[in-house]
């Protein structure tokens, strides 16, 4: 294969990307240019360069028709790697990553839930990981501007996670719009955009051997330096018998254009060949020749001659038992020449024949969408099935178009209209969605449709209008008949409005006796648990409510179809843990973690990790808190920023700062907050970002700035009061009291500490009461020892070991200062040992210092070996010590195998061992 002309720079950049991937650093190359400029030639060159380097190679080509088929390009990538094999070899391939990819796509098609797209993208990413595990991999996608939306989402997903993989992704496209996955792909950190320029006259002269300079200049002007169009013009000159070496030919070139050339070429072909070209253009790239012949209405005997004529005229290529146009420009010219009526008739024929052959619904629907109404008697069913697959693949726009056509085919089907309305809601067309949903609800009384229409109203006219709409619907609906579903939707809508907090609380109180037997009951109970936590109901009552909402994993099962619902599950779980229901919470988290590991997305993993880090903080497992927080941040590192991602990162950052404080590393806490601020300086205010004022105040205290600490604490107070929240589990008063003490305002400190204790006693959980007693002891020197002794006594009945360790150390220090040295020893020893068990280096050091002042020697804790591992390293080391291979560890932690490999390298160095065989012994 000769090298493309004047493409040395582009080839060098492609070669560099391949060499980087061979070294384990993935790259993305985006080749962008107008039709015929030579993008396909560069893709072919990339494949040849990759072959020379021993790469595995996957390829696909976008197609205008397949753009309406879910996962069309991804299926091409996989199926092309399988189709050439038969028998045992094929079975072996399907037992590996390729089979896993097809299984993931089949699973996605069965679940139209909005969260399924994220799970499928992650499953496909793992297929890419596996395919590149034995040798580097090149993935090429040509004509990506015609690729289906779901496949483009995968290419974007892969591009954001390609850095640690030995993969080069080469995507060729015509100039992309400013929005959408292709535009985002070009903005990827790992992407390099190549913009092939038109060929110079000198390059055209090399391309056209023996051409006269005047002819070269004329061809360059007529083609604008476009390589493909220049070749088309040269071929036409040959057909017309005009020698390129004759300067007089230059005058004839000016009268030739691509459209007229293609039209003339087809005009010289037999009628059967022209009909076959039209059918091939309608059926799309890679069509079966016999199927194309049938759609064209050709006899089987006439097909070979028609194919030969088109191949000879340089219109089609025929290879591997399928037909393809020599260039997309040729196909576009054929389609344009057909005219709209002829195209529609061919699409109708194609849909009819494909349906009879039991082709997949999405392929039939792609033709039905462009065929006359009434083409198939079951057209609505076909379109509905295809739309469901598209919704699962994240292409709501095409799904809505299919459903609109389905409604036109069966206008009396209210259920179909309801599906259309829901799809429109997913596209963002809330006004259209409301229109269709209300129309469907009028013919098919259904509470879910009324609720969905109210969701659309909330977008169009605001939540107040939605609340009024739902309230009216509830008033006229008898008990039963889905009324509880409307009550749940009303409660959810009100939960976002501060001015409805009191009314919402009274409304929810009517449902306290629900058992949690249905999704709607669990939604209401989950909101009740959240309300109870924020309004400081008795902790035991909140815990009972949260348990009924969670219903032994049923609430999580309800939630896995929606990110919003997952947030509600986390909120209910936080209410349970805040009420010290840690054992039930642990079982709930363990169930959820198993589910997410087997079939989950990075966002779902991060949500479960955030729940787990709250649990571990509650229990005082500092090392696990840091590991869960780092794991959550790593999982969503490459996710597109949105409110849920901001909330996840804020929560993980919050607890990572706590863990840093316990290590005595104030700078690490500050870095964690600075990293969050750099990513989300303009993030809208939300509960998780509001909580970050407390760690900011703690940092200010550690840096000797009580004025700033108090200001941060009071900012949190003010923002909490603005939404009527003063939960004891969000202790803004702790840094405020300490700041006031440092500023000499002991009266204010005492008042704030007493307030915290009052709120904690109202809540009633031992953890909050014990912590509040310890805070009051700092502000009340006269009763310090008694208050700390009471704190210890209360915390003995709490799961919060770190809080207990703090109160024990504080009590020991207070007794020492009060010259009760003998009494001080026991709590200091116990508190120091407990601090070490929890992983609080700072608290243990403080306890050890107090013991040394008494002349005692605390138990020594070596900070070498296993103790020197970071939280993330320890987690990887523990899994590796169990004999888990790197791939399994990476899957469990939602990181790349290379990340695991890097962790293990550092682990071996720190532990002074040569490999994982020695891990179990060292970690024991």
pLDDT in tens, 187-213: 777 789 999 999 899 888 887 888 888
| Burial (0-12, 13-18, 19+ Cβ within 10 Å), 719 | middle
SS3 of 656-683: the string is: HHHHHHHHCCHHHHHHHHHHHHHHCCCC
pLDDT band at residue 230 under the 50/70/90 scheme: confident
Q: What is the pLDDT of residues 777-808, one digit of tens each?
A: 999 999 999 999 999 999 999 999 999 999 99
Strand order in the sheet with 56-61: 56-61, 137-142, 167-173, 27-32, 191-194
Q: Do 581 and 718 reside in the same domain of the chain?
A: no
Q: Do 54 and 167 reside in the same domain of the chain?
A: yes
pLDDT band at residue 113 under the 50/70/90 scheme: low
pLDDT band at residue 843 under the 50/70/90 scheme: very high
Q: Do 83 and 160 reside in the same domain of the chain?
A: yes
| Whole-number Cα distances in Å, 822 to 774, 786, 791, 855 | 21, 17, 20, 11
Q: What is the pLDDT of residues 551-598, one digit of tens each?
A: 999 999 888 767 778 888 998 999 999 999 999 999 999 999 998 888
User: Which one of 42-51, 91-100, 232-241 scores highest in mean pLDDT?
Assistant: 42-51
Q: What is the CA radius of gyration of the chain?
A: 34
Question: What integer pLDDT is reported at residue 285 of this predicted model?
Answer: 79
Q: Do 712 and 843 reside in the same domain of the chain?
A: no
Q: Do 842 and 888 reside in the same domain of the chain?
A: no
Residue 719 maps to a domain: yes
Residue 511 maps to a domain: no
Residue 121 maps to a domain: yes
- Which of 743, 765, 784 is the endpoint of a domain? 743
Q: Do 208 and 183 reside in the same domain of the chain?
A: no
Q: Which residues pair with 138 in a beta bridge?
A: 57, 168
Q: Report the C-alpha gap between 32 and 39 in whole angstroms.
A: 7
Q: Report the C-alpha gap between 582 and 587 in whole angstroms.
A: 9
Q: Report the C-alpha gap between 467 and 871 in whole angstroms.
A: 46
Residue 583 maps to a domain: yes
Q: Report the C-alpha gap between 872 and 656 in whole angstroms.
A: 12
Q: Do 21 and 118 reside in the same domain of the chain?
A: yes
Q: Do 691 and 796 reside in the same domain of the chain?
A: no
Whether residue 1 is predicted with pLDDT greater than 60 in this model: the reply is: no
pLDDT band at residue 261 under the 50/70/90 scheme: low
Contact assessment for residue 32 and residue 176, using Cβ atoms and an 8 Å cutoff = yes
Whether residue 863 is predicted with pLDDT greater than 60 in this model: the reply is: no
Question: What integer pLDDT is reported at residue 887 of this predicted model?
Answer: 87
Contact assessment for residue 545 and residue 583, using Cβ atoms and an 8 Å cutoff = no
The whole model's pTM is what? 0.84
Segment 533-546 shows an average pLDDT of 95
Q: How many CB atoms lie within 10 A of CB 675?
A: 14
Nearest 5°: phi and psi at 112? -80, 5
In degrees to the nearest 10, what's the CA dihedral of 896, 901, 904, 906? -100
Question: What integer pLDDT is reported at residue 827 of this predicted model?
Answer: 96
Average pLDDT score, the chain: 89
Question: What integer pLDDT is reported at residue 66 of this predicted model?
Answer: 85
Q: Do 696 and 765 reside in the same domain of the chain?
A: no
pLDDT band at residue 512 under the 50/70/90 scheme: very high
Q: Do 640 and 690 reside in the same domain of the chain?
A: no
- Which of 696, 716, 743 is the endpoint of a domain? 743
Segment 715-721 shows an average pLDDT of 91
Question: What integer pLDDT is reported at residue 62 of this predicted model?
Answer: 92
SS3 content of the chain, % helix, strand, coil (to 5): 70, 5, 25
Residue 160 maps to a domain: yes
pLDDT band at residue 253 under the 50/70/90 scheme: confident
Which comes out higher in pLDDT, residue 266 or 675?
675
Q: What is the CATH number for 145?
A: 3.40.50.300
Q: Which residues pair with 56 in a beta bridge?
A: 137
Question: What integer pLDDT is reported at residue 911 of this predicted model?
Answer: 87
Q: Do 71 and 14 reside in the same domain of the chain?
A: yes
Residue 708 maps to a domain: yes
pLDDT band at residue 83 under the 50/70/90 scheme: low
Question: What integer pLDDT is reported at residue 220 of this predicted model?
Answer: 86
Query: Which domain does 534 fall in, by range?
Result: 516-599
β pairing state of 322-325 and 167-173: unpaired
Residue 316 maps to a domain: no
Residue 379 maps to a domain: no
- The DSSP secondary-structure symbol of 177 reads P
Q: What is the pLDDT of residues 723-750, one digit of tens each?
A: 788 888 888 999 999 999 999 999 999 9
- Residue identified by tokens 């909580």 is 691
- Which of 858, 880, 913 is the endpoint of a domain? 858
Question: In total, how many domains does the chain have?
Answer: 8
- Residue identified by tokens 């004047």 is 6
CA geometry: angle at 542 spanning 478 and 510, to 5°?
Answer: 20
Q: Do 664 and 738 reside in the same domain of the chain?
A: no
């Amino acid at each position: 294969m000769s090298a493309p002309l004047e493409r040395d720079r582009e080839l060098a950049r492609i070669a560099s990307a391949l060499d980087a991937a061979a070294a384990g650093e993935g790259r993305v190359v985006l080749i962008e240019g107008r039709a015929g400029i030579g993008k396909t030639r560069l893709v072919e060159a990339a494949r040849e360069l990759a072959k020379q380097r021993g790469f595995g190679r996957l390829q696909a080509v976008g197609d205008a028709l397949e753009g309406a088929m879910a996962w069309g390009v991804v299926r091409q990538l996989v199926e092309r790697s399988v189709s050439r094999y038969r028998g045992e070899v094929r079975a072996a391939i399907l037992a590996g990553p390729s089979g896993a990819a097809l299984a993931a796509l089949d699973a996605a098609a069965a679940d139209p839930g909005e969260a399924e797209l994220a799970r499928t993208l992650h499953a496909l990413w793992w297929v890419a990981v596996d395919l590149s595990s034995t040798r580097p991999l090149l993935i090429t996608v040509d004509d990506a501007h015609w690729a289906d939306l779901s496949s483009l989402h995968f290419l974007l997903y892969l591009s954001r996670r390609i850095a640690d993989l030995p993969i080069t992704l080469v995507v060729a496209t015509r100039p992309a719009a400013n929005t959408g996955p292709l535009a985002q792909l070009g903005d990827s950190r790992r992407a390099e955009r190549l913009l092939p320029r038109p060929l110079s006259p000198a390059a055209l002269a090399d391309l056209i051997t023996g051409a006269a300079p005047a002819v070269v200049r004329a061809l360059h002007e007529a083609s604008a330096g476009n390589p493909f169009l220049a070749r088309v013009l040269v071929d036409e000159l040959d057909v017309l018998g005009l020698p390129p070496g004759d300067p007089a030919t230059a005058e004839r070139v000016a009268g030739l254009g691509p459209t007229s050339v293609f039209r003339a070429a087809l005009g010289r072909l037999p009628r059967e060949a022209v009909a076959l070209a039209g059918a091939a253009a309608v059926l799309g790239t890679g069509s079966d020749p016999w199927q194309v012949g049938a759609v064209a209405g050709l006899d089987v005997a006439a097909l070979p001659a028609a194919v030969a004529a088109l191949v000879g005229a340089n219109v089609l290529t025929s290879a591997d038992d399928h037909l393809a146009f020599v260039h997309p420009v040729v196909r576009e010219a054929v389609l344009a020449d057909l005219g709209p009526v002829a195209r529609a008739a061919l699409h109708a024929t194609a849909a009819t024949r494909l349906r009879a052959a039991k082709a997949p619904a999405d392929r039939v629907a792609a033709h039905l969408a462009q065929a006359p109404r009434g083409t198939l008697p079951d057209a609505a069913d076909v379109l509905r099935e295809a739309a469901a697959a598209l919704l699962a693949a994240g292409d709501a726009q095409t799904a809505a178009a299919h459903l609109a056509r389905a409604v036109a085919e069966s206008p009396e089907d209210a259920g179909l209209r309801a599906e259309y309305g829901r799809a429109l809601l997913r596209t963002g067309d809330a006004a259209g969605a409301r229109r269709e949903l209300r129309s469907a609800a009028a013919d098919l009384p259904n509470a879910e449709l009324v609720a969905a229409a109210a969701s659309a109203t909330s977008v169009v006219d605001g939540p107040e209008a939605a609340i009024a709409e739902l309230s009216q619907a509830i008033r006229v609906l008898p008990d039963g008949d889905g009324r509880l579903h409307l009550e749940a939707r009303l409660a959810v809508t009100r939960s976002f409005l501060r001015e409805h907090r009191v009314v919402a609380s009274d409304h929810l109180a009517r449902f306290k006796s629900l058992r949690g037997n249905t999704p709607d009951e669990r939604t209401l109970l989950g909101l009740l648990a959240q309300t109870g936590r924020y309004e400081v109901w008795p902790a035991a009552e909140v815990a009972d409510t949260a348990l009924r909402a969670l219903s032994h994993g049923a609430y999580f099962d309800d939630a896995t179809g929606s990110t919003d619902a997952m947030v509600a599950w986390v909120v209910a779980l936080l209410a349970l843990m805040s009420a010290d229901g840690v054992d039930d919470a642990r079982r709930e988290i363990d169930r959820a973690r198993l589910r997410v590991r087997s079939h989950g997305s990075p966002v779902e993993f991060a949500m479960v990790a955030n729940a787990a880090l709250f649990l571990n903080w509650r229990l005082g497992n500092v090392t696990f808190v840091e590991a869960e927080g780092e794991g959550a941040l790593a999982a969503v590192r490459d996710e597109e920023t949105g409110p849920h991602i901001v909330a996840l990162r804020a929560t993980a950052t919050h607890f990572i700062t706590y863990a840093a404080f316990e290590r005595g590393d104030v700078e690490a806490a500050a870095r964690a907050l600075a990293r969050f601020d750099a990513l989300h300086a303009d993030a809208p205010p939300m509960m998780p970002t509001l909580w970050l004022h407390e760690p900011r105040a703690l940092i200010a205290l550690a840096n000797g700035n009580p004025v700033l600490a108090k200001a941060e604490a009071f900012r949190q107070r003010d923002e909490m009061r603005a939404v009527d929240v003063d939960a004891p589990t969000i202790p803004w008063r702790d840094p405020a009291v300490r700041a006031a003490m440092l500023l000499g305002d002991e009266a204010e400190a005492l008042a704030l500490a007493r307030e915290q204790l009052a709120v904690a006693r109202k809540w009633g959980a031992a953890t909050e009461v014990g912590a509040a007693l310890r805070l009051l002891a700092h502000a009340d020197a006269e009763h310090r020892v008694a208050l700390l002794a009471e704190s210890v006594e209360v915390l003995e009945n709490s799961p919060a070991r770190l809080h207990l360790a703090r109160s024990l150390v504080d009590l020991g220090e207070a007794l020492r200062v009060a010259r009760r040295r003998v009494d001080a020893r026991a709590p200091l020893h116990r508190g120091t040992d407990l601090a070490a068990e929890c992983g609080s280096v700072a608290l243990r050091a403080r306890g050890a210092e107090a013991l040394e002042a008494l002349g005692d020697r605390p138990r020594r804790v070596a900070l070498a070996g296993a103790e020197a591992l970071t939280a993330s390293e320890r987690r990887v080391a523990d899994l590796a010590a169990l004999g888990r291979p790197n791939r399994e560890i990476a899957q469990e932690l939602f990181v790349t195998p290379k990340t695991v490999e890097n962790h293990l390298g550092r682990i071996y160095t720190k532990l002074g061992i040569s490999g994982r065989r020695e891990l179990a012994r060292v970690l024991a």
